[in-house]
Chains A and B, each alone.
Chain A
Amino acid sequence: MLSFFMAIAKWLQSTWWALDISGSTWIYPFVQATHFTGLSMWIGTNLSLDLRMMGIGKKRRTAAELSEALFWWNWLGLLIAITGGFLLFSSAATKYIPNPAFEIKLGIFIPLGIIVHIINQQKVKTWGAASEPSGVARLMGLFELLIWFTVITCAVSIPNFDTH
């Protein structure tokens, strides 16, 4: 299985865009900044909604109203983050594939976080319709919050497991 992913990684790393990114002093930070801009929008809006679902902070807006107001920019953030992340990954794919922190981040916690986020976004209409969120809303908000903190933990741990 690892050799299959490594073969894809080698191909990705030899594509023109990956070579452009890895071969330039300036492009890499720009792509990294794109990734972080998307992450700021995605994680920033997610955390705001999760905390509202947990009943923390101002309560003028219900969690359902806040979710609706943030909806499109929240998903646009993820789209930007994925685009930037894919380009960053392409530039050093063979280095990322065997990295356990990267494997756990991409293989477990990002899919889990997205699934929980979709459930929360769907269910917040009923769970978070009142000013005081229900018990299940608080629990799911906390659950999603912890998943994104785990994703950030895995991301910042990637250099610690770098074998190159």
Chain B
Amino acid sequence: MPHLCRLLQENSFILWLDSNVVLSLVLEIMHYSGFFLIVGTTAIVDLRVLGLAGRDEQPSALAEQLRPWMWTGVVMAFVSGFFMFSADALDFYEAYTFRFKVGIVLVALICGVVVYSKTRHWESLPSIPVGAKVLALISLVLWIGSILASVEVPAISGVG
């Protein structure tokens, strides 16, 4: 893995990308915007399942409307994140905070996707099950945790 990281950060395209101030800025803007889109839209769907937001809307209607923007955010954050990682791949790989961040983001994403995909089933039941609300709460907490983990990466490891 360290060998792969070294190859990645010594790649001529990655070196060119990293040395280009404008493109580095574009990647950063894309990463933040993507993250805002994922967390913002998923939080609203989670809050709806918890019965706290958009109660005039069916959970599935809200999820269907916001799902494309959640996925747009995922693509934006992952593509830009990959290039940002590549520029300092070895340092990121060695930072335990970064590994923790990636782990928590992946678990949060899985929980979020499950919540999005189950809304239609849950609303067909007489009331939204407690398990669904717990899952929505876990998704919400994990996304806030992933933000915290993200800001801790440079604070603790000095990378990024």
Q: Which of B28, B38, B40, B151 counts the most A-chain CB atoms under 10 A from its CB?
A: B40
CA distance A44 to B44 in the complex (A): 9
Interface string of A30-42 (1 = CB under 8 A from B): 1011001101111
In this complex, the interface size class of chain A, counting residues with CB under 8 Å from chain B, is 35 or more
Chain B residues, CB < 8 A from A36: 35, 147, 150-151
Given contacts A44-B40, A73-B43, A73-B44, contact A60 B155 (CB under 8 A): no
Q: Do A47 and B37 touch (CB < 8 A)?
A: yes
Chain B residues, CB < 8 A from A1: none
Interface string of A56-97 (1 = CB under 8 A from B): 011011000110111011000100000000000000000000
Q: Do A152 and B68 touch (CB < 8 A)?
A: no
Q: Does residue B152 face the partner (Cβ distance < 8 Å to A)?
A: yes
Q: Do B39 and A40 touch (CB < 8 A)?
A: yes
Given contacts A48-B69, A69-B56, contact A43 B40 (CB under 8 A): yes
Smallest beta-carbon distance B79→chain A, Å: 16
Q: State the A residues within 8 Å of B (CB).
A: 25, 28-30, 32-33, 36-37, 39-45, 47-48, 51-52, 57-58, 60-61, 65-66, 68-70, 72-73, 77, 149, 152-153, 155-157, 160
Q: Does residue B106 face the partner (Cβ distance < 8 Å to A)?
A: no
Q: Do B144 and A37 touch (CB < 8 A)?
A: yes
Q: Do A156 and B32 touch (CB < 8 A)?
A: yes
Smallest beta-carbon distance A78→chain B, Å: 12
Q: Do A69 and B54 touch (CB < 8 A)?
A: yes
Partner of A72, one of B32, B53, B66: B53
Can you report 14 residue pairs joining A to B where beta carbons are below 8 Å apart? A29-B148, A32-B151, A40-B36, A40-B143, A41-B44, A43-B36, A48-B37, A48-B66, A51-B69, A57-B69, A61-B65, A68-B54, A69-B62, A70-B54
Chain A residues, CB < 8 A from B67: 58
Given contacts A41-B40, A44-B36, contact A60 B148 (CB under 8 A): no
Smallest beta-carbon distance B47→chain A, Å: 6
Q: Do B28 and A69 touch (CB < 8 A)?
A: no
Chain B residues, CB < 8 A from A37: 39, 144, 147
CA distance A60 to B65 in the complex (A): 7
Smallest beta-carbon distance B153→chain A, Å: 9
CA distance A28 to B156 in the complex (A): 11
Chain B residues, CB < 8 A from A58: 64-65, 67-68
Chain B residues, CB < 8 A from A68: 54, 56
Q: Does residue B29 face the partner (Cβ distance < 8 Å to A)?
A: yes
Chain B residues, CB < 8 A from A47: 33, 36-37, 40, 69
CA distance A65 to B58 in the complex (A): 12
Chain A residues, CB < 8 A from B56: 68-69
